[in-house]
Amino acid sequence: MQNLEHITEENFIAYGKCELAATETLAVQKHIGACEMCREKLAQKFDITKTYSA
């Protein structure tokens, strides 16, 4: 995943289930830290408190 690409639905689900490879997990976390839109989507999808900041 390139940092500029938004997280796919498939990766959101896999991330939430801890099914991504370590490198993919790090890429998702890095992207979430930089992308407010994906951070919001993740928070809504998994009803979590926003713990990531830009």
pLDDT tens for residues 1-54? 555 689 999 999 999 899 999 999 999 999 999 999 999 998 888 776 545 544
Token output for 32: 């979430």
Query: Which pLDDT value is given to residue 46?
Result: 79
What number of helices (H) and strands (E) belong to the chain?
3, 0
pTM, 2 dp = 0.73
In-domain check, residue 28:
yes
What's the domain count of the chain?
Answer: 1
Residue span of the structural domain in which 33 resides: 9-46
CA distance 39 to 17: 16
Query: Which pLDDT value is given to residue 49?
Result: 52
In-domain check, residue 51:
no
